[in-house]
Amino acid sequence: MRSYLALVPFVVACTSAAGAPDASYASVRDRLEAAPTRLFADAQPSAGSINARRWTHDGWQDGTTTVSVTNGELVAAVDANGALTLSKFAIGLDPVAIPEVVFGKPAQLTDVRFTLAAATTAPATWTGADDATATVTVKMDLDWTLSIDNSKSPLGTQHLPPIPVDLTLTGGGDHVDATLAVHATGELWSWAGLLELTQLELQLDAATVD
């Protein structure tokens, strides 16, 4: 997971603001305690799935489709007690194909992006200075567009219910790796009781750019 060249101009402009490796750190924990640290995720195909369903006179028509991550970013910090704070978390997805059974014709969700609505803190379990796990419950905003045939309808920002994210940190002071597993169950979004999105599962890897 090292295809970061497209991110380099952006990273150079931002490193001084979040976790620039301008000093040598003894461990992951030391680095995150010293300053908020930015990690990036590059394109990751088949990173998860989402369920979509539509109400018809025959009842709910639903289907599950695979989703792929185009990019992601998080900014994490650790306090003196080892608690983890996410101050930024964003995920972009490739167009999501909605199963044809839902609308009776091909449809997609495009321009899909999840963004952290507010910083959040959770206790972390440290098994060593370079290894930690935490479950962080986040509030995310969802921006997207519904595309059916040649018609596109921006759906506006959706404020999603709280979503648990399992986060694992590994690596060292000079390079930090993270694995994030997003588990969003139940109704994520509903339109007029006729169209619903449920059960989003995502897993992605992120790392500092060194």
pLDDT in tens, 53-105: 777 777 877 778 888 999 999 999 999 999 999 999 999 999 887 767 667 78
Residue 34 in this model has a pLDDT that exceeds 80: yes
pLDDT of residue 23: 67
Q: Does some domain include residue 156? A: yes
The whole-chain average pLDDT of the chain stands at 84
Residue 102 resides in a domain: yes
In a domain, 4, yes or no: no
Could you tell me if residue 149 is inside a domain?
yes
What's the token pair of residue 184?
């969003």
User: Residue 141 and residue 118: Cα distance in Å, rounded?
Assistant: 10
Question: Which range of residues forms the domain containing residue 54?
Answer: 24-207
Q: Is residue 11 part of a domain?
A: no
Q: How many domains is the chain partitioned into structurally?
A: 1
Instruction: Report the pLDDT value the prediction gives residue 68, as an integer from 0 to 100.
Output: 93
- Asked whether the predicted pLDDT for residue 13 surpasses 50, the reply is no
* 10 in a structural domain: no
- Give percent above pLDDT 90 in the chain: 50
Task: Identify whether 43 is part of a domain.
Answer: yes
Please enumerate in sequence order all residues whose Cβ is within 8 A of that of 36, keeping only pairs 6 or more positions apart, or say none: 18, 19, 75, 76, 77, 85, 87
Range of 13-17, 84-88, 111-115, 160-164 with top mean pLDDT: 84-88
Question: How confident is the model at residue 22, as a pLDDT?
Answer: 55
Instruction: Establish if 126 belongs to a structural domain.
Output: yes
Q: Which helix (H) or strand (E) holds 103?
A: helix 100-103
27: its two tokens: 């461990």
Residue type, 90: A
Q: Which residue has the higher pLDDT, 43 or 190?
A: 43
How far is 178 from 131, CA to CA, in rounded Å?
10
Residue 8: pLDDT above 50?
A: no
Can you tell me which residue has the tokens 């952006």? 10
Q: Which DSSP string corresponds to 18-86?
A: TT---S--SSHHHHHHHS-EEEEE--EEEEEEEEEEEEETTEEEEEEEEEEEEEEEEEEEE-TT--EEE
Helix (H) or strand (E) holding 10: helix 8-14
Nearest to 204, CA basis, from 114, 117, 128, 126: 114
84-93/107-116 β-pairing: antiparallel
CATH for 158: 2.40.160
Out of 20-34, 71-85, 153-167, the most confident range is 71-85
